[in-house]
């Protein structure tokens, strides 16, 4: 019998020198780096459902938390890193360094454990990672002592295409206050069915809030369908629409459907239309869990005409989503404002189509989760000009400060509102009444 050929040793180590132990793999940190690499390639976090799919639920949650924390602090981390780097590292090594900085200085984790874990991650990146491991070790050890410099850094700045119009509308101080709110992230807000409650503190607007969420499906009342997750600002759009039992209400651009649930829970008959079947699947899940019903239609709202004229329409139009940066800190890194012209044109078309469907005397609430006046205040002004005879519905809602109302009667909500309660998403909301007879 032939002997198998002798195996070649993988590496030759000088006698007496200890072997480098194999890097320990931390699944959550590795997952966070996968998400960050995706964002670096222009993908949003929600475009990457498989990045953490193999992790157990606790590791998945930690991986997501770490990625969010880095995304909220990328420029701040780079401000400390750049002076310590002799040249720009490879993108995956730079992301690992950013993760180390954020864990050390933002999340306050123990320096020894963080530095070792990040060095192990980098060594696990292959020969080029191994070559960078010494540098990563040295840089993170220096960074670990810079907590005062970290605390003195300003919050992450919005990109110019967003910051400039925010400053033009409300000034530098408001831009900074919004950036401070973005830095703090978002709590978990919930809307309860009428007559029921949700966990956490009750907000002045009627929503409920938990500062630390944990596993949502384990919270009291979730399985019973007592409430659903919905930002407090988002919930105000339907509070302004004020659907009544027995009314017929059209919810266009409805998915994933927090507002459809509110309309159905008020006792109105609702048709929910959205282009995205995948996003509407979440509406179906929530309707079932909350034992509510709605007619759900997949399709282009501009082509949709219901069998009868609705008493009220909610138009939560597609927009830049710049009001949601607290929850989606990847957004400023993957968007450049180039989609705005198309979005504002679509918003105006949707307003016109919705008004054409509405019963005489009916109500239309237009909403966008945007910080940009072109997607809010300017849309209201233009709609009033295009449709003489429209009147603006008065905003009489709990929890609203008078200076959140705009000159034309819209409601401007910003992340820096309710600073002591934990902020809210940015939204513009306006209610319009169609005249009884065309003029």
Catalytic residues, by residue number, are 369
- Would you state the structure tokens that stand for residue 62, as one six-digit string? 């930690």
CA 16 vs. chain centroid, Å, equals: 54
Residues 360-389 binding ligand SAM (CB under 6 A) are: 369
Residue 309 in tokens: 């004229």
Nearer of residues 120 and 274 to ligand SAM, judged by Cβ: 274
Of the candidate residues 20, 276, 356, 391, the single one contacting ligand SAM (CB under 6 A): 276
Helix (H) or strand (E) holding 386: helix 377-386
Residue 145 marked ligand-binding? no
Cis preceding-peptide flag for 138 (omega within 30 of 0): no
**C-alpha R_g of the chain:** 26
What is the smallest separation between the CB atom of 366 and ligand SAM, expressed in angstroms? 12
Is 26 annotated to bind ligand? Answer: no
Pairwise CA distance, residues 316 & 265, whole Å: 18
Give the residue, chosen from 23, 89, 200, 257, that forms a contact with ligand SAM under the rule CB under 6 A: 257
Taking the complex as a whole, the smallest distance from the CB of residue 231 to ligand SAM amounts, in Å, to: 9
Report the residue number, 167 or 302, with the smaller CB distance to ligand SAM.
302
Question: Are 366 and 358 a contacting pair, CB within 8 Å?
Answer: no
The CA distance from 104 to 120, in Å, is: 16
Q: Does 431 bind ligand SAM (CB under 6 A)?
A: no
Strand order in the sheet with 227-229: 201-202, 208-210, 188-192, 227-229
Region from 164-172, 181-189, 257-265, 332-340 binding ligand SAM, contact rule CB under 6 A: 257-265
Could you tell me if 196 and 226 are in contact, meaning their C-beta atoms sit under 8 angstroms apart?
Answer: yes
Which one, 355 or 369, has the nearer CB to ligand SAM? 369
Return the residues of window 302-361 that contact ligand SAM according to CB under 6 A.
302, 316, 318
- # chain residues binding ligand SAM, by CB under 6 A: 19
Residue whose C-alpha is closest to residue 271's, from 246, 304, 295 = 295
The span from the CA of 286 to the CA of 102, in Å, is 35
Angle at CA of residue 174, ends 146 and 366, nearest 5°: 125
CB 198 within 8 A of CB 192: yes
- 274 among the known binding-site residues? yes
Verify binding: residue 255, ligand SAM, rule CB under 6 A: yes
Q: Which of residues 214-253 bind ligand SAM (CB under 6 A)?
A: 234, 253
Residue among 204, 128, 244, 193 at smallest CA distance from 398:
204
Residue 323 labeled ligand binder: no
Which position among 35, 39, 236, 254 is part of the footprint of ligand SAM (CB under 6 A)? 254
Least Cα distance to 119 among 141, 134, 104 occurs for: 134
Residue range at the interface with ligand SAM (CB under 6 A); choices 2-10, 18-26, 271-279, 373-381: 271-279
Of positions 65, 141, 279, 289, contacts ligand SAM by CB under 6 A: 279
When asked if residue 266 is in the footprint of ligand SAM (CB under 6 A), the reply is no
* Beta carbon of residue 122, minimum distance to ligand SAM (angstroms, whole number): 39
Burial 220-243 (b: 16+ CB within 10 A, else e): ebbeebbbbbbbbbbbbbbbbbbb
The minimum distance between CB 35 and ligand SAM, in angstroms, equals 22
DSSP three-state, residue 55: coil
Stretch that binds ligand SAM, among 13-21, 57-65, 296-304, 337-345 (CB under 6 A): 296-304
Nearer to ligand SAM, 9 or 194 (CB): 194
Give me the residues that bind ligand SAM (CB under 6 A), please. 234, 253-259, 273-276, 279, 300-302, 316, 318, 369
List binding-site positions for S-adenosyl-L-methionine.
253-259, 274, 300, 316
């Amino acid at each position: 019998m032939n002997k198998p050929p002798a195996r070649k040793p993988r590496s030759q180590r000088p006698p007496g020198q200890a072997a480098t132990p194999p890097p320990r793999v931390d699944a959550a940190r590795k997952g966070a780096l996968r998400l960050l690499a995706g964002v670096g390639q222009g993908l949003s976090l929600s475009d990457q459902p498989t990045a953490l799919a193999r992790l157990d639920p606790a590791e998945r949650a930690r991986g997501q938390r770490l990625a969010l924390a880095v995304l909220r602090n990328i420029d701040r981390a780079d401000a400390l890193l750049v002076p310590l780097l002799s040249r720009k590292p490879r993108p995956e090594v730079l992301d690992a360094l950013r993760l180390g900085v954020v864990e050390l200085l933002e999340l306050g984790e123990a320096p020894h454990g963080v530095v070792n874990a990040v060095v192990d991650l980098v060594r696990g990146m292959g020969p080029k990672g191994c070559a960078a491991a010494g540098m990563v070790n040295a840089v993170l050890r220096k960074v670990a002592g810079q907590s005062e410099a970290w605390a003195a850094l300003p919050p992450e700045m919005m990109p110019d295409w967003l910051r400039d119009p925010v400053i033009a509308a409300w000034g530098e101080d408001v831009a900074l206050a919004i950036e401070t709110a973005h830095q703090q992230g978002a709590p978990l807000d919930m809307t309860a069915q009428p007559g029921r409650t949700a966990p956490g503190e009750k907000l002045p607007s009627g929503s409920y809030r938990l500062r630390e969420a944990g596993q949502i499906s384990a919270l009291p009342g979730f399985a019973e369908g007592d409430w659903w997750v919905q930002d407090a600002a988002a919930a105000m759009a339907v509070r302004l629409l004020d659907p009544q039992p027995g009314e017929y209400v059209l919810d266009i651009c409805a998915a994933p459907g927090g507002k459809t649930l509110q309309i159905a829970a008020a006792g109105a008959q609702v048709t929910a239309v959205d282009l995205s079947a995948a996003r509407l699947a979440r509406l179906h899940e929530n309707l079932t869990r909350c034992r509510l019903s709605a007619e759900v239609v997949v399709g282009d709202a501009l082509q949709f005409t219901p069998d009868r004229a609705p008493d009220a329409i909610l138009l939560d139009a597609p927009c830049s989503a710049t009001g949601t940066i607290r929850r989606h800190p990847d957004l400023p890194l993957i968007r450049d404002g180039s989609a705005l012209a198309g979005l504002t044109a679509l918003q105006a078309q949707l307003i016109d189509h919705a008004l054409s469907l509405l019963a005489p005397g009916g109500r239309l609430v237009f909403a966008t989760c945007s910080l940009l006046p072109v997607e809010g205040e300017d849309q209201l002004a233009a709609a009033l000009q295009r449709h003489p005879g429209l009147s603006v519905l008065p905003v009489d809602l709990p929890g609203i400060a008078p200076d959140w109302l705009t000159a034309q009667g819209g409601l401007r909500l910003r992340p820096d509102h309710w600073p002591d309660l934990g902020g809210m998403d940015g939204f513009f909301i306006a209610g319009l009444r169609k005249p009884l007879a065309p003029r």
